[in-house]
Homo-oligomer: A and B are copies of this chain.
Amino acid sequence: MRATVAEKLPAAADRPIHLTSARRTAILKALADPRRFELLERIAKAGCPLGCAEARAALPISAATLSHHIKELETAGLIDVRREGKFHFLTLRPGVMQGLIAILGALDTDRCPES
């Protein structure tokens, strides 16, 4: 099933997206920077699209650095950026985090009885 665009289900019902190993690495790298992770937390906790100004107010970084981090999160496919005139709004991309979780969860399924 080739993921029809029609299934734009509202909130918590996102299926995990399948991730190639290259994309998995990109996502993990994006998450591995503390500031970037904090930014992503802000975006996630905001629920509604987060403006760059709000993001900037929360993080002690320059505009150039924020732009860099946003691009990293975007190219990793972790967030969507809606560019609306002068302002940009950031949202978590549905299903991606669940896709990562699926990969990580598969790692510690079976274990040796003798531990």
Query: Nearest Cβ in chain B — how far from A6, in angstroms?
Result: 10
Pairwise interchain contact A34-B44, C-beta atoms closer than 8 A: no
Residues on the B chain within 8 Å of A92, using CB: 107-108, 111
Give A75 Cβ to nearest chain B Cβ, in Å: 15
Interface: A101 (CB within 8 A):
yes
The total of chain A residues at the interface (CB under 8 A) is 41
This chain: copies in complex: 2
Besides A9-B110, A101-B101, 13 other A-B contacts (C-beta < 8 A): A10-B113, A11-B111, A11-B113, A12-B108, A12-B111, A28-B37, A44-B108, A44-B109, A47-B111, A48-B114, A49-B112, A94-B111, A100-B104
The residue on B at minimum CB distance from A97 is: B108
Q: Which residues from 6 to 55 on chain A have a C-beta closer than 8 Å to any C-beta of chain B?
A: 8-12, 14, 21, 24-25, 28-29, 31-34, 37, 40-41, 44, 47-49
